[in-house]
Chains A and B, each alone.
Chain A
Amino acid sequence: MIGNRAGAVAAGVLVLLCQACDSTPPASRPTGGAASREAAPAAPAPASKPEAGPTAETATPPRAEPPRAPATAPPVKPIVPDRVKQPASQTTTPPTPAAPTPASPTPAEPAPPAPTPASPPPAAQTPAPPPPTTPAHAATLDLSSLEKRLRETKAIGVFTKLSLKNEVDDLLEQFREFHRSPDQSSRAKLRQAYDLLLLKVLSLLQDGDPGLARDVSSSREALWSILVDPDKFKNL
Chain B
Amino acid sequence: MSWRTKVRAAIVSMPILMAGPALAADDPAVLKDLTAVIALQGQPCGQVVTATKQGDNDYAVACKDGSRYRVFVNAEGRVVVQKQ
Contacts and interface: CB of A to CB of B under 8 A. Distances in A.
Interface of A: 156-160, 162-164, 166-167, 200, 204
A204 B78 contact: no
Given A167-B40, A200-B40, A160 B33 contact: yes
Contact of A204 (B30, B36, B71, B79): B36
A14 B36 CA distance: 115
Interface residues of B, number: 15
Contacts of A167: 40
Nearest to A163: B79
Q: Which DSSP category, helix, strand, loop or mixed, fits chain A's interface?
A: helix
Contacts of A200: 40
Nearest to A197: B40
B51 to A, nearest CB: 10
Given A159-B33, A159-B57, A167-B40, 19 more contacts: A156-B36, A157-B30, A157-B34, A157-B37, A158-B33, A159-B34, A159-B37, A159-B73, A159-B79, A160-B33, A160-B37, A160-B40, A162-B77, A162-B78, A163-B37, A163-B41, A163-B79, A166-B78, A204-B36
A177 B57 CA distance: 31
Contacts of B30: 157
Nearest to B32: A157
A162 B73 contact: yes
A166 B37 CA distance: 12
Interface string B61-82: 0000000000101000111000
A162 B57 CA distance: 11
Contacts of A164: 40
